[in-house]
C-alpha cells in the first residue's frame, strides 16, 4: 500500500518547487522540476528539526515476595522499597527561533532530568524544559548557549485543508533524521489515542513511527503546521494514520514560555457537553447536525456570567466550528487569558453570538490545603477544599464539592487512600472543611473508619492506629 502512493506523490512534488519561491501552486514546467521532488524544500526545513535524547529517572518499587499471593498481595504491595530506574527517551523537536526555542512532546521530555539535543549538522546542546503540559502533550525547551540557529515559521493551522501535500521530518526508531511524505487526510480529530480531553489533531498519512514524536509536519512552503505526536496502530509501526498537534496551539505555548509562565494557562470554560448527533438535532429542532450541546455548567463559569444555559448549543468560537468538548477546549486554549471570545450559540431556537470573558478557574472558595503533621495518625496526608481550580487540576467531575485528598502521603497511601478521593466522614463524623480531618483523626482512638467517594462509588476503609 505504501508503494502504491509513492508514484503519484512523487509526481505531485513538482508543486513544491515554485511554492518555495511564491505562494501559488504551479504546474511543473520541465522534467528537471519533476525529478527534483521535495529536495529543495527538505534542504530548507530539515536543519530546523533536531534529535532529542532524554534521560528520565523513575522510582520503581521492588517486587514484593507476596506479589502472586491472592490474600497477602494487597497488604504488602506498598511496603517494597522504591529504587531508581533510568529510562532513556528518544524523540524529535523543532527549532522555532534562532536563540534556541525548541518544541517537542511532553511524553519525550516532560519528566526528563537530562536532555541532549543534536542538530542536523551534529552540533550538541544541553536543554531545559521551560514550559510543559501533559494534557496537551507539548513541551518548550531552551537550548543553552544557542544562537544563529535555523528555524521554522508557524502557519495558521486553521487554514490547513484536507488533501494538502505534507512532509513529516523526525528521527524514527533512532536511525537518524528521516523525511516521509503524504497528505493531510483529516482535520479536527479529537479523542484519538487516549489523552485527557484536550486531544485535537491534524491527521496525516505521511508515515510516522516511534522516534518521530515531537518532529515537524510541514507544508509545501516549508511552514510548520503541526507537531507529530501519535499514531493509530496495533503493531507499533505506521499504518498511515498519524496525528499532529496544530501549530496554533504551539504558537500559544511559545508565547507563554517567553512570558515566563511556569504552567500552561488555558481559559476555563466550567462546562461539560456532548456532540450534537442526528437524534439530538431532531429533538432540538436544529436544521443541521452541528455543534456541542451544553449538558452541565458550573455556577462560577464565565459562560453563566454571559447568559449561557444548560441546553444551549455552541456552534462556533471566534468563527471556528465547535462540534465536541475537545474542540471547545482547543479553541479556548489558543485564545489569550484576559480577553474575550465571540461564541456563537443556539439559545431557545435563536442563533446569536455572545462575548465570553476568558478567565482562569477561580480559587474560590480558597482551597486552603492542609498537610497533616507527625502528631497525627496519617502524617503527610494533604487535603483541601474543592473549588474550580482544584476541579481543573485534579480532573474531578464538574459538580464535585467537599474536601478532597490532594496527596495521600506514605501512611494513608498504604491503607488504600488515593489522590482525588473525596473525604466524607471519619468514624461517622462528617467532614465539612480541611481542618476537620486533623481534628477527627486525633480523636479517632485505636480504630478508625474512613468513608470516602471514589469515582462515584462510596468506599469505606478501616485502619488500626
Is the domain covering 370-464 a CATH 2.30.42.60 domain?
yes
For residue 427, what are the contacts with CB-CB under 8 A and spacing of at least 6? 440, 444, 445, 448, 449
Q: What's the mean pLDDT in 156-185?
A: 90
Mark 438-449 as b/e (b = at least 16 C-beta within 10 Å): bebbeebeeebe
47-143 and 370-464 agree in CATH topology: no
Percentage of residues of the chain with pLDDT beyond 90: 63
Q: What's the mean pLDDT in 40-47?
A: 92
Q: What's the mean pLDDT in 219-248?
A: 85
User: Per-residue pLDDT for 1 more than 80?
Assistant: no
Q: Which of the two residues, 367 and 194, has the higher pLDDT score?
A: 367
In this prediction, residue 297 carries a pLDDT of 97
pLDDT band, very low/low/confident/very high, at 16 (cuts 50, 70, 90): very low
- For the chain, give every domain's residue range: 47-143, 271-357, 370-464
The residue assigned the cell 485534579 is: 394
Q: E strands of 291-408, at which residues?
A: 292-297, 313-317, 320-321, 340-347, 350-357, 370-371, 382-385, 403-407
pLDDT band, very low/low/confident/very high, at 26 (cuts 50, 70, 90): low
Q: What's the mean per-residue pLDDT of the chain?
A: 85
The residue assigned the cell 536543554 is: 127
Class of domain 47-143 as given by CATH: mainly beta
In this prediction, residue 192 carries a pLDDT of 46
Least confident range of 5-14, 107-116, 199-208, 394-403 = 5-14
> The C-alpha cell of 413 is what?
497511601
The pLDDT tens digits for 428-451 are: 999 999 999 989 988 877 888 999
List, by residue number, the catalytic residues: 107, 137, 213
The pLDDT tens digits for 268-284 are: 999 999 999 999 999 88
User: Per-residue pLDDT for 19 more than 50?
Assistant: no
| Beta-carbon count within 10 A of 365 CB | 11
SS3 284: helix
Q: Where does 383-450 have alpha helices with state H?
A: 388-394, 409-414, 434-442
User: Per-residue pLDDT for 267 more than 50?
Assistant: yes
User: Per-residue pLDDT for 8 more than 60?
Assistant: no
Q: What's the mean pLDDT in 75-99?
A: 74
Q: Provide the CATH number for the domain formed by 271-357 in this structure.
A: 2.30.42.10
SS3 117: strand
In this prediction, residue 6 carries a pLDDT of 26
The pLDDT tens digits for 305-334 are: 999 999 999 999 999 999 999 899 999 999
d(CA 180, CA 39): 12
In this prediction, residue 138 carries a pLDDT of 95
In this prediction, residue 191 carries a pLDDT of 54
Amino acid at each position: 500500500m505504501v508503494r502504491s502512493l509513492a508514484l503519484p506523490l512523487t509526481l505531485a512534488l513538482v508543486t513544491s518547487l515554485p511554492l518555495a519561491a511564491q505562494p501559488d501552486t504551479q504546474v511543473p514546467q520541465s522534467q528537471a522540476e519533476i525529478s527534483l521532488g521535495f529536495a529543495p524544500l527538505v534542504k530548507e526545513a530539515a536543519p530546523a528539526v533536531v534529535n532529542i535524547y532524554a534521560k528520565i529517572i523513575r522510582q520503581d518499587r521492588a517486587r514484593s515476595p507476596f506479589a502472586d499471593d491472592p490474600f497477602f498481595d494487597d497488604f504488602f504491595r506498598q511496603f517494597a522499597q522504591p529504587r531508581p530506574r533510568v529510562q532513556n527517551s528518544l524523540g524529535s523537536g523543532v527549532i522555532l527561533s534562532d536563540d534556541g526555542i525548541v518544541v517537542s512532546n511532553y511524553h519525550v521530555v516532560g519528566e526528563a532530568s537530562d536532555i541532549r539535543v543534536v542538530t542536523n549538522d551534529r552540533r550538541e546542546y544541553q536543554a531545559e524544559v521551560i514550559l510543559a503540559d501533559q494534557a496537551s502533550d507539548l513541551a518548550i525547551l531552551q537550548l543553552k548557549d544557542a544562537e544563529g540557529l535555523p528555524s521554522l515559521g508557524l502557519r495558521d493551522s486553521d487554514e490547513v485543508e484536507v488533501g494538502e501535500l505534507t512532509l513529516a521530518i523526525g528521527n524514527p526508531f533512532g536511525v537518524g533524521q528521516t523525511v516521509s511524505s503524504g497528505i493531510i487526510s483529516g482535520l479536527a480529530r479529537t479523542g484519538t489515542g487516549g489523552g485527557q480531553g484536550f486531544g485535537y489533531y491534524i491527521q496525516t498519512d505521511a508515515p510516522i513511527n516511534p522516534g518521530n514524536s515531537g518532529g515537524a509536519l510541514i507544508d509545501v512552503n516549508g511552514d510548520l503546521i503541526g507537531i507529530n505526536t501519535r499514531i493509530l496502530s496495533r503493531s507499533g509501526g505506521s499504518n498511515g494514520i498519524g496525528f499532529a498537534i496544530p501549530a496554533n496551539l504551539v504558537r500559544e505555548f511559545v508565547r507563554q514560555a517567553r512570558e515566563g509562565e511556569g504552567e500552561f494557562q488555558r481559559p476555563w470554560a466550567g462546562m461539560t457537553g456532548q456532540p450534537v448527533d442526528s437524534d439530538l438535532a431532531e429533538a432540538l429542532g436544529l436544521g443541521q447536525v452541528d455543534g456541542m450541546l451544553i449538558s452541565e455548567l458550573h455556577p462560577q463559569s464565565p459562560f453563566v456570567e454571559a447568559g449561557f444555559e444548560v441546553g444551549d448549543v455552541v456552534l462556533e468560537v471566534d468563527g471556528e466550528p465547535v462540534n465536541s468538548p475537545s474542540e471547545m477546549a482547543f479553541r479556548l486554549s489558543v485564545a489569550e487569558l484576559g480577553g474575550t471570545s465571540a461564541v456563537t450559540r443556539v439559545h431557545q431556537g435563536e442563533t446569536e453570538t455572545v462575548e465570553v470573558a476568558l478567565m482562569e478557574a477561580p480559587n474560590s472558595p480558597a482551597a486552603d490545603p492542609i498537610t497533616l503533621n507527625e502528631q497525627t495518625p496519617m502524617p503527610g496526608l494533604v487535603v483541601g477544599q474543592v473549588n474550580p481550580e482544584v476541579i481543573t487540576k485534579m480532573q474531578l467531575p464538574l459538580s464535585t464539592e467537599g474536601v478532597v485528598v490532594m496527596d495521600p502521603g506514605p501512611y494513608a497511601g498504604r491503607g488504600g487512600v488515593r489522590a482525588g478521593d473525596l473525604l466524607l466522614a471519619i468514624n461517622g463524623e462528617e467532614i465539612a472543611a480541611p481542618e476537620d480531618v486533623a481534628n477527627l483523626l486525633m480523636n479517632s482512638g485505636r480504630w478508625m473508619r474512613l468513608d470516602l467517594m471514589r469515582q462515584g462509588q462510596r468506599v469505606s476503609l478501616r485502619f488500626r492506629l
